[in-house]
Structure 1
């Protein structure tokens, strides 16, 4: 067998073994998992995640996921906890301790102090009969039959299982708390994610003198001049009372030319799209983007509660704002 084939076979075997380990988790999501969730939901403090080595790296990620999904959490290195960092943990907190063996000495050393302070302890171990599991109020079973490592030594399947259990815990708590997309955005204000979840249509729309707007009955020639002047590739068309009558876009112009209509003589009423899709100013910009994508259009008129145009935006506006 060539080296390339051997590398591919090894990678596929590793993936297969870790998938099987994760699949076996479903049967272990039981009353112990529920109790762990309830203890965290009832807590007045934070979730303090501890773990050594590879479990510590997984614990760091679990703490970060919890913190970004509505459960205040942070990671404490158990060795540092023995040298002062226990002062970061209060009676109201919940400690989530990760250890595949359940006998990690740096964590076991902390158990008497955790008990003395009356801190709620949840363990995530691969051995429900271990010291750590028995000391905890509840143990979440993270056991695996075998590591993906051919020597059955390097934490591979076990760390993957712990990571998945941490995600399951975080999302279960998220839903139990009624955590929303807007709540999530406040934990992620920077970058594209924050822009997608916090930016509203009113922040990117063209309003006032920048809004392309004509009255019903206007000639197509005048409509094209308005579109050219405002540079959005569209114009809103309004009724006499100011309500939205329709929209005319570059796409409508192409369809008009295909039909052989004389653009010098035509009225906007003949060629516009009646009413069209709209957005609201307080709508998330990401929602406006979805409307455009679902309807295969490149522009939207923004209307008020009386269906009167107050703004307009197109794909380029969303692209510049970083929503796409």
Structure 2
């Protein structure tokens, strides 16, 4: 297989590139040149937002294109149009955020969607991703695979969710653990996303798929236990209920990454229907493996995780945590 990876140097793109290389595929990475692509790839440089930015893709043929673009849909539109006659399939890594809010528990791929346009500039993350989906489908039709990922965790994370928890736990001592302990969470390990995406494309699948672990695959308790075990095993979780966290003005998801209290937003994010992906071979590794491997990667680079400049900083300030816990 000949893969054209649009991006391929960070997080999702890197995981997909490495999986393809492990399969023995021929991989071309098209990127801006800010980071080195994995060894064994052929690199092409260009900026999809600049005039002439796709010139390096004017020639060449590929069996599969994978695109993770999350900005203005016009970049997906222009790239997909350029490659439609020279690539076999187009996998667009989208998001479950394209579903209209609030998405009820168990919602599958037929649920109502936000508005989006392939011809739009950047409007907002859900609308931009929906526009990207429409752009991919307009150019590739049934050859377009829409990977609607949920929360993505794992090695190389550059958003700051799991790395923040690991670094917080590594500081030891008591820490705020948002409850309840048995609260189920849904996420996808980036490597499981990569494997399923390449398997699905190779099998000729098209259309939309929710790609996230089954409900109950992990809990907040299991997730934080795994963080403690990976980072030394001496930190002490202080389980705190949602009402106390809300009363303290602490923001779920941002100040306490991964966690959401039960309710409408929780159902939207953590109770997706994933039967379609499971039926086509999705396998999700244990949370302990995701956490341990992420910690191993962090420690190998000194503990400071890379951070995407277009995403907000995650995590709870020590003084706010101490105030709630009475320390």
- Structure scoring higher RCO (CA < 8 A, sep ≥ 6) equals 2
TM range (shorter): under 0.3
Higher helix share: 1
Report which of the two structures shows the higher radius of gyration computed on alpha carbons.
1
TM-score normalized by the length of structure 2? 0.25
